[in-house]
Structure 1
């Protein structure tokens, strides 16, 4: 049998680091907003909010380097957990137990996207290239430029 999952999305909140009562093992939880690959004609893509749990070194890594809004790539497996709420009702939680969490974008691209987010000319995925005054005309003198 096979239980592997690879997700890429943005953190909906800052990771929450805790430690187990016995052994003080670090565990971090966070939620990843992941867009579905399919959307109907004329409709917006739907987003799923996936609960992620990471343990030990991965937990410490995520807690130290990831914050709300950052793009993350999570590799892990799906796990279900049964529990009772405070009213005694049986509940089931589905979550991804992360084996590996990586950055989904570079620091530079993250800073550029937040810098251009307020720009009226910025479009998702297309960097703002500046004003026309920033460019100069290329002259063809027959010489190869390298």
Structure 2
């Protein structure tokens, strides 16, 4: 039977994405995402919290999107799988790193590229939608479902 290797993370970026380009010209993004758990300690009654940091790598178009839209603190939903890769340090010693290879990236928390000074008061005044006004006249809103 085949195994399942699936990771789902919802958390916040700890730093700005690190974007690199591979020799073939494709983009690679490395991000670090924090997830936190909290609970009440049974012995002391104190609120406890532990934060776990996850290394995640994205390739190609998703890597480009990371570089364009994500920043430190961005909230993200990520699906991926655990991958372990081998590399050598400066002394020639083999090292291993386990990270999440991202397959799905969804940005959460709204748009962060809009200036916060823009508010609803600066937006266009609300005009009634002609279609919704016609629907009200036809009794469309009286339908019980």
State the shift of 1:43 in Å.
4.5
**1:69 and 2:73 equivalent?**
yes
State the shift of 1:50 in Å.
0.6
State the shift of 1:107 in Å.
3.0
**1:103 and 2:107 equivalent?**
yes
CA–CA distance in 2 between the matches of 1:73 and 1:107? 15
**1:9 and 2:11 equivalent?**
yes
CA–CA distance in 2 between the matches of 1:58 and 1:10? 17
The 5 A counterparts of 1:54-93 are: 54-93=58-97
The alpha-carbon distance between structure 1 residues 94 and 39, as it changes in their structure 2 partners (threshold 3 A), is farther
- By percentage of residues, which structure has more strand? 2
State the shift of 1:39 in Å.
3.7
Point out 4+ residue stretches in structure 1 off by more than 4 angstroms: none
Structure 1 residue runs without a partner (length 5+): 113-146
- Equivalenced residue count is 109
CA–CA distance in 2 between the matches of 1:49 and 1:104? 18
Render the CA deviation track for 1:2-42: whole Å, top value 9, x for unaligned: 00111011101111111101x10111111001113x64512
Structure 2 residue runs without a partner (length 5+): 117-145
State the shift of 1:89 in Å.
2.5
State the shift of 1:58 in Å.
0.6
Partner of 1:34: 35
* C-alpha RMSD of the superposition: 2.1
Q: Which has the greater radius of gyration? A: 2
8 Å CA contact retained: 1:39, 1:46 = no
CA–CA distance in 2 between the matches of 1:84 and 1:43? 42
